[in-house]
C-alpha cells in the first residue's frame, strides 16, 4: 500500500514507530498530485515544493501531527500564499496574515500542500462556478464532486491530500463529502473560529474537517476547535478531546428519522441505502423512530434569502479601490466600481448579490429578510423540540448521487434544490456529519447525514464511528477515475 492511501492516524502510527519520515510522506503526496491533478483539477495553488522543504526540518517532538500534510480550501487566509476564493476578483491577492485555523495547524507542525478549488466565494454546489477550473469527481470524471468545497473533497477522495479543511454555509462540507464517498463534519456554529475565513454569509459559515474516516475527523476537530477572541461569534467552552468519543456503541441511543427528508425529490437508491443504514443502527441497539420536521421547504427559502442578503453586504468591500481586481476600462470613479465588479465577479456571485440587495432594499426588507429571520427562529425551535426526544437525527445528505457536469449549472433553481437536506442545519447553527453508507447501481457513493443538538459533536462522532466500523465502506469501495 502506498503512503498516500493511508489515513492520518495510520500515518502517525508509522511516524511514531520511525517506519517513515515526514519527508517521505510529502514526497508520496507530491507524486500523487503530479499523477492525478490534471484529471481532477482540485488545486488552485500548489505548495508541495515548499512543503517538502518544511518536512525536512519538522520537529516531531513538537506534536504527533508534525509533518502531516493537509489541503486548505481557498477561502481561508494563508500568509504569503494566494487566497483567491476561486474568483477573478482575488486572483492575485496574497494574504498578509493567517486565519486562526491556519495558525492552529502551523502550531501543530502540519504542512500545507496547497489551496483547493471551490465555487467562487463558496457560492455553488458543484465546483463548476470556479473562475479557474471545474473540479472532477474521482469516482467518475464526468460528474461533479459537489460544492462549494469540491476541491477539498475531490483531493481527499483521490488521495492527493490525507485530509483537508472545508467551509460549510448550507452543506458545502457535507454534500461534497457525500458525493465523493468520504467523511465531512460541519461543527456547531461558534465552535471553530471564522477569523480569516473570507465571508460568504457570516451567520451561516463554519469551517470543518473533510477526511477519509471518522477518526481523522475527530483529530482534526481537536486541532481547530476552541474559543478565539478575534471572532465575536466564537463560543467559550471547556476543551474536549473528541477522539474519546470514538467508541463502537450506540446501545440506547435515540435516533429520529424525519419523514419529510425521505419524500419527494429524494432519489430512490439514496433513500434505500439510508434506510438500510438505519436498520444497521437498530441491529446495534439504537432506538429508532420516525418523526416530523416539517421545515424543509421553508428552510430552503430562509437560507437563500439570508445567505444572499449577507453576501450582498459582505462582498460590498470588493470595489476595485482597496484591494482585489480593478478594471482597466474606466474614466471616472463610478466606472471603476461598476466595471471592476462586473468583470471581477462571476455570474452566480452577481446573481446572489442582486438577490441579496433586493431583499434588503427599502420596501422589500419586511416582506423578505425580516420574515425570513422570524421563520429562522421557528426552525430553531422545531429542532429544539425534536432534540428533547432524540439524541440524533438521520437524513440523506444529498437528494442524489453526483450528477454529470453541466446538467444543473444552467438551471440555478435546480442547483439550489440540491441543498434541500443540508441548509436547515446551518440555519439552526447545529452540527452535522456526512458519512458514506453505500453506492448506487453505477457504483457512485451515497452519503448519510447525522444531525445533533448544539455542541453534541461527541455523540455524532460516536454514532458515525459505530456505523463506519461495522460497515467498513473504505475497505470495500474505492474511486474508479472512470471517464
pLDDT of residue 66: 98
pLDDT of residue 164: 98
Assess contact for 152 and 76: CB atoms under 8 A: no
pLDDT of residue 268: 96
Percent residues over pLDDT 90 in the chain: 94
Lowest-confidence pick of 206-220, 270-284, 409-423: 409-423
pLDDT of residue 317: 93
Assess contact for 37 and 43: CB atoms under 8 A: yes
- For this structure, is 234 an active site residue? no
- Residue 33 clears pLDDT 80, i.e. is over it: yes
- Residue 416 clears pLDDT 90, i.e. is over it: no
pLDDT of residue 295: 86
pLDDT of residue 141: 98
430 lies in some domain: no
Average the pLDDT over 137-158 and give the result: 98
Calculate the CA dihedral of residues 138, 139, 145, 146 and round it to 10 degrees: -160
Which residue is it, cell 496574515? 97
366 lies in some domain: no
- Residue 356 clears pLDDT 90, i.e. is over it: yes
- For this structure, is 31 an active site residue? no
pTM of the shown model: 0.97
Q: Name every residue whose Cβ is closer than 8 Å to that of residue 269 and which is 6 or more positions away in sequence.
A: 401, 440, 441, 446
Average the pLDDT over 412-434 and give the result: 90
86 lies in some domain: yes
Beta strands 445-452; 432-439: pairing state: antiparallel
Give the tens place of pLDDT for each residue, 44-69.
Answer: 999 999 999 999 999 999 999 999 99
434 lies in some domain: no
Which residue is it, cell 457525500? 178
CA distance linking residue 406 with residue 39, whole number of Å: 17
pLDDT of residue 340: 97
Is residue 296 very low, low, confident or very high in pLDDT (cuts 50, 70, 90)? confident
Lowest-confidence pick of 66-80, 230-244, 315-329: 315-329
Is residue 294 very low, low, confident or very high in pLDDT (cuts 50, 70, 90)? confident
- Residue 427 clears pLDDT 80, i.e. is over it: yes
Is residue 323 very low, low, confident or very high in pLDDT (cuts 50, 70, 90)? confident
pLDDT of residue 413: 72
Average the pLDDT over 134-154 and give the result: 98
CA distance linking residue 233 with residue 230, whole number of Å: 9
319 lies in some domain: no
Nearest to residue 114, comparing CAs of 61, 152, 58? 152
Angle at which helices 457-471 and 214-224 pack, to 10 degrees? 160
Catalytic residue among 73, 115, 408, 453: 73
- Residue 200 clears pLDDT 90, i.e. is over it: yes
CA-angle at 184, arms to 263 and 244, nearest 5°: 115
pLDDT of residue 11: 98
Average the pLDDT over 210-232 and give the result: 98
Catalytic residue among 87, 167, 172, 409: 172
The single-letter DSSP state of residue 405 is T
Assess contact for 267 and 399: CB atoms under 8 A: yes
Is residue 418 very low, low, confident or very high in pLDDT (cuts 50, 70, 90)? confident
Range of the domain at 139: 3-250+402-408+440-445+458-476
- Residue 1 clears pLDDT 90, i.e. is over it: no
| 28, 254, 359 from 371: Cα distances, Å | 53, 33, 10
pLDDT of residue 260: 93
Average the pLDDT over 102-125 and give the result: 98
Is residue 385 very low, low, confident or very high in pLDDT (cuts 50, 70, 90)? very high
pLDDT of residue 313: 96
Give the tens place of pLDDT for each residue, 222-242.
Answer: 999 999 999 999 999 999 999
Average the pLDDT over 24-49 and give the result: 98
- For this structure, is 254 an active site residue? no
Catalytic residue among 28, 30, 87, 148: 148
SS3 251: coil
How many H-runs (helices) and E-runs (strands) does the chain carry? Answer: 16, 11
pLDDT of residue 477: 94
How many domains does one find in the chain? 1
Q: Give φ, ψ of 255 to 5 degrees.
A: -115, 125
275 lies in some domain: no
Average the pLDDT over 261-279 and give the result: 95
425 lies in some domain: no
145 lies in some domain: yes
- Residue 213 clears pLDDT 90, i.e. is over it: yes
Rg (C-alpha) for the chain, rounded Å, is: 21
Domain with 188 in it: what CATH number? 3.90.1300.10
Give the tens place of pLDDT for each residue, 460-472.
Answer: 999 999 999 999 9
Angle at which helices 48-56 and 22-40 pack, to 10 degrees? 170
Amino acid at each position: 500500500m502506498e503512503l498516500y492511501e493511508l489515513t492520518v492516524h495510520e500515518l502517525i502510527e508509522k511516524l511514531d514507530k520511525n517506519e517513515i519520515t515526514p519527508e517521505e510522506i510529502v514526497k508520496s503526496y507530491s507524486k500523487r498530485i503530479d499523477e492525478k491533478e490534471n484529471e481532477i483539477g482540485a488545486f488552485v495553488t500548489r505548495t508541495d515544493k515548499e512543503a517538502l522543504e518544511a518536512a525536512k526540518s519538522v520537529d516531531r517532538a513538537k506534536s504527533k501531527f508534525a509533518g502531516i500534510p493537509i489541503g486548505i480550501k481557498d477561502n481561508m487566509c494563508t500568509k504569503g500564499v494566494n487566497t483567491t476564493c476561486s474568483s477573478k476578483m482575488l486572483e492575485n491577492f496574497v494574504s498578509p496574515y493567517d486565519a486562526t485555523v491556519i495558525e492552529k495547524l502551523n502550531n501543530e507542525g502540519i504542512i500545507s500542500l496547497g489551496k483547493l478549488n471551490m465555487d467562487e466565494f463558496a457560492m455553488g454546489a458543484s465546483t463548476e462556478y470556479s473562475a479557474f477550473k471545474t473540479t472532477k469527481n474521482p469516482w467518475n470524471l464526468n460528474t461533479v464532486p459537489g460544492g462549494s468545497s469540491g476541491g477539498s473533497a475531490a483531493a481527499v477522495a483521490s488521495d492527493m491530500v490525507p485530509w483537508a479543511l472545508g467551509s460549510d454555509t448550507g452543506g458545502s462540507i457535507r454534500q461534497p463529502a457525500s458525493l465523493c464517498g468520504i467523511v465531512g463534519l460541519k461543527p456547531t456554529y461558534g465552535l471553530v473560529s471564522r477569523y480569516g475565513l473570507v465571508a460568504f454569509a457570516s451567520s451561516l459559515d463554519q469551517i470543518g474537517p473533510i477526511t477519509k474516516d471518522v477518526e481523522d475527523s475527530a483529530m482534526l476537530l481537536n486541532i481547530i476547535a476552541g474559543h478565539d477572541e478575534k471572532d465575536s461569534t466564537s463560543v467559550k467552552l471547556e476543551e474536549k478531546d473528541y477522539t474519546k468519543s470514538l467508541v463502537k456503541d450506540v446501545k440506547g441511543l435515540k435516533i429520529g428519522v424525519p419523514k419529510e427528508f425521505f419524500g419527494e425529490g429524494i432519489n430512490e437508491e439514496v433513500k434505500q441505502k439510508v434506510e438500510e443504514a438505519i436498520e444497521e443502527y437498530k441491529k446495534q441497539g439504537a432506538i429508532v423512530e420516525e418523526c416530523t420536521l416539517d421545515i424543509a421547504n421553508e428552510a430552503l427559502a430562509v437560507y437563500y434569502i439570508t445567505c444572499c442578503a449577507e453576501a450582498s453586504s459582505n462582498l460590498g468591500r470588493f470595489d476595485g479601490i482597496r484591494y482585489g481586481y480593478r478594471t482597466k476600462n474606466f474614466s471616472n470613479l463610478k466606472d471603476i466600481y461598476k466595471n471592476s465588479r462586473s468583470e471581477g465577479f462571476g455570474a452566480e456571485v452577481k446573481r446572489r448579490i442582486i438577490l441579496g440587495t433586493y431583499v434588503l432594499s427599502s420596501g422589500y426588507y419586511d416582506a423578505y429578510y425580516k420574515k425570513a429571520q422570524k421563520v429562522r427562529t421557528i426552525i430553531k425551535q422545531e429542532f429544539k423540540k425534536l432534540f428533547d426526544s432524540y439524541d440524533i437525527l438521520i437524513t440523506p445528505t444529498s437528494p442524489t448521487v453526483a450528477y454529470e457536469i453541466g446538467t444543473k449549472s444552467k438551471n440555478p433553481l435546480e442547483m439550489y434544490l440540491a441543498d434541500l437536506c443540508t441548509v436547515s442545519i446551518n440555519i439552526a447553527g447545529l452540527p452535522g456529519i456526512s458519512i458514506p453508507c453505500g453506492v448506487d447501481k453505477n457504483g457512485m457513493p451515497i452519503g448519510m447525514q447525522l444531525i445533533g443538538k448544539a455542541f453534541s459533536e461527541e455523540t455524532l462522532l460516536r454514532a458515525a464511528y459505530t456505523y463506519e466500523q461495522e460497515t467498513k465502506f473504505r475497505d470495500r469501495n474505492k474511486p474508479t477515475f472512470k471517464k
